[in-house]
Amino acid sequence: KEVLLEVEDLRIYFELGRQKVAKAVDGVSFTIHKGETVALVGESGSGKSITSLSIMRLVPMPPGKLVSGSVKLNDREILTLPEKKMREVRGNEIGMIFQEPMTSLDPVFTIGNQIMESLLHHQGLKRKEAKNKAIDLLKLVGIANAEKVVDEYPHQLSGGMRQRVMIAIAMSNNPKLLIADEPTTALDVTVQAQILKLMLKMKEEFNSSILLITHDMGVVAETADRVLVMYGGQIVEEAAVKELFLNPKHPYTKALLKTMPSLDQNVDRLPSIPGSVPPAHSFPQGCRFAERCEFAFDQCKQQLPELINVTDAHKARCHLYSGFGGGSIV
Ligand code: SF4
Ligand code: MG
The ipTM of this complex is: 0.95
Question: What order do you get walking across the sheet with 226-231 strand by strand?
Answer: 94-97, 177-181, 209-214, 37-41, 226-231, 234-240, 314-316, 308-311
The CA dihedral of 60, 64, 68, 70, to the nearest 10 degrees, is: -20
- Give pLDDT, residue 327: 47
297 and 326 in contact (C-beta within 8 Å)? Answer: yes
Q: Tens of pLDDT along the chain (330 residues)? A: 899 999 999 999 998 888 899 999 999 999 999 999 999 999 988 999 999 999 999 999 989 999 999 999 999 999 999 999 999 998 889 999 988 665 678 889 999 999 998 888 777 788 899 999 999 999 999 999 999 999 999 999 998 899 999 999 989 888 999 999 998 888 888 888 889 999 999 999 999 999 999 999 989 999 999 999 999 999 999 999 999 999 999 999 999 998 876 655 555 556 688 888 899 999 999 999 999 999 999 999 999 999 999 998 999 999 999 876 554 444
Residue 158 phi/psi, 5-degree rounding, is -75, 165
**Distance between Cα 49 and ligand 2 center (Å):** 4
CATH of 3-104+177-194+205-284, one of 3.40.50.920, 3.40.50.300, 3.40.190.290, 3.40.50.620: 3.40.50.300
pLDDT digits (tens, 9 = 90+) for 211-262: 999 999 989 999 999 999 999 999 999 999 999 999 999 999 999 998 876 6
**Ligand 1 atom closest to the CA of 299, numbered from 1:** 2
**Ligand 1: which of 237, 250, 299, 300 to mutate, judged by most atoms within 8 Å of the beta carbon?**
300
pTM: 0.92
For 151-173, b/e burial (b = at least 16 CB within 10 A) is eeebeebebbbbbbbbbbbbbbb
Which ligand has the shortest distance to the CA of 102? 2
CB 100 within 8 A of CB 188: no
Give the residue among 203, 205, 268, 188 at the shortest CA–CA distance from 33. 203
The answer to whether 313 and 240 have CB atoms below 8 angstroms apart is: yes
Closest CA to 218 of 193, 237, 243: 193
Pocket of ligand 1 (CB under 6 A): 250-251, 287, 289-290, 293, 295-296, 300, 305, 318-320
| Bridge partners of residue 238, in order along the sequence | 228, 315
- Are residues 139 and 168 in contact, defined by beta-carbon separation less than 8 angstroms? no
CA of 304 to the centre of ligand 1 (A): 9
Distance CA 234, CA 306 (A): 10
Name the residue type at position 299.
Q
Rounded to an integer, what distance in angstroms lies between the CA atom of residue 137 and that of residue 167? 9
pLDDT at residue 99, as a whole number: 81
Residue nearest to atom 7 of ligand 1 (CA): 290
Q: How far is the CA of 218 from the centre of ligand 1 (A)?
A: 24
For the stretch 81-125, pLDDT in tens is 999 999 999 888 999 998 866 567 888 999 999 999 888 877 778
